[in-house]
Structure 1
């Protein structure tokens, strides 16, 4: 029960990594408010506190804060796992899809964090867990990720600024940089030529799982990580180490 007594808001909790984190947080004793744009993905979560909202809008972010305030009057952990991404080679990436990705990966993190900031400050010992990516550090041959790299590179930089501004207020901020992780979204690529390049970079004999990421998110949200802020944790089977 490493998160006993913690009040956690987890975005993108309807599927994938966000869902795994929400469930692991509940198992570790946290009270969890789970948010996703898709209400269907929230229905089977073990936490009774759920909110369907579009977090690329100020209204959606404000609704999330109001839900946290109504539930607890505050919050101790914010996990920004929600994201929307479009992939295409540079020559084929249209501006609408580029903006969809930057809204889904940058705006959502900014809007939710800004809206949640007063609740986190009131906690006095709060933690923000953001998501950069292995693709914020290295390019992967065969992955047309121009918009995704822009989005996750921005989150990496934003996290450092959150840590700087949050430090005097008792707010820690860190990011997790997953490599290729098996989720509902990525499973469709397991039999594509891209996977040869993914597997060639691994130092371990398997792909990552959402549960692997969730274990790290537990540590970063817990008091065990009280001296950890402004850091980016690569969890990628060694893919970005060489």
Structure 2
């Protein structure tokens, strides 16, 4: 099957690398008009070279930048059918008694919660006008379970907030035909998780051992779920969470 998103207009954040890039490229391959954004101009350029229109730099924790991104979609296409909030700022990992409030806690919450709220707020009028729209946000395995490998109190709080916020978005969007769902990925192989040291050594071995399929994820594993949620195949799916984690939360 191809062309599952034919003619739909999709806003995708964080398209410079990782999951956001994988979703943007997969959506384009399925026929969507994709407008992406990223804070990193160099990474954005590499994605643009693969055929996706990208605005950069866009700081999604800055309301004026978010407004500029959404206005660009309105000017180019006059509507938005899909919003994918794939961007996130790398969370600070520290035990609760060592975490600095201003330098670690606040930036993590802003980078995982505020940017989702701001993008949804700005895009909401376009999504309402579309009448059959889809919002896809990102929770995490750590919305449901804690970690013995890493100290991540702020990350767990942020992703738990996104999960709850998305359920409320589904309630508020229902009368306007806006569906809102979350994807909760397990450990996915990206440049960010590599930089965090999660893809090698004992830490990676422990993460793989928790899966039921014996491997870590790749961006396309997540992108295919996003294609489904963005498509008309999921027109009766809202307020739901999809754990795409190799079975980690099942065991």
> What TM-score do the two structures reach when normalised by structure 2?
0.94
Unmatched 5+ residue regions in structure 1? none
Q: Which residue of 1 aligns with 2:147?
A: 140
Alignment of 1:86-235 (within 5 A): 86-95=92-101, 96-187=103-194, 188-235=197-244
Distance in structure 1 (CA, Å) of the matches to 2:52 and 2:21: 14
How far is 1:241 from its partner? Answer: 1.0
Give CA-to-partner distance per residue, 1:187-234, whole Å, 9 cap, x none: 232224322321221111211111100000000000100000000000
CA contact (8 A) 1:175 1:231 kept: yes
Distance in structure 2 (CA, Å) of the matches to 1:193 and 1:51: 38
3-state secondary structure, aligned to 2:16: coil
Q: Which runs of 4+ in 1 moved over 3 A?
A: none
Distance in structure 2 (CA, Å) of the matches to 1:93 and 1:142: 17
Distance in structure 2 (CA, Å) of the matches to 1:104 and 1:231: 23
Give CA-to-partner distance per residue, 1:4-46, whole Å, 9 cap, x none: 0100000011110000000000000000001111111111223
How far is 1:48 from its partner? Answer: 4.7
CA RMSD after TM alignment:
1.0
Q: Which residue of 2 aligns with 1:6?
A: 8
Distance in structure 2 (CA, Å) of the matches to 1:48 and 1:77: 15
Give CA-to-partner distance per residue, 1:36-89, whole Å, 9 cap, x none: 111111112233521121011111111111111111011000000011122122
Change (3 A) 1:200 1:48: closer
3-state secondary structure, aligned to 1:189: coil
Q: Which residue of 2 aligns with 1:57?
A: 62
Distance in structure 2 (CA, Å) of the matches to 1:196 and 1:134: 17
CA contact (8 A) 2:24 2:52 kept: no
3-state secondary structure, aligned to 1:34: strand
Q: Which residue of 1 aligns with 2:51?
A: 47
Unmatched 5+ residue regions in structure 2? none
CA contact (8 A) 1:33 1:47 kept: no
Q: Which residue of 2 aligns with 1:34?
A: 36
Distance in structure 2 (CA, Å) of the matches to 1:229 and 1:152: 18
> What TM-score do the two structures reach when normalised by structure 1?
0.97
Distance in structure 2 (CA, Å) of the matches to 1:133 and 1:22: 20
Distance in structure 1 (CA, Å) of the matches to 2:201 and 2:13: 29
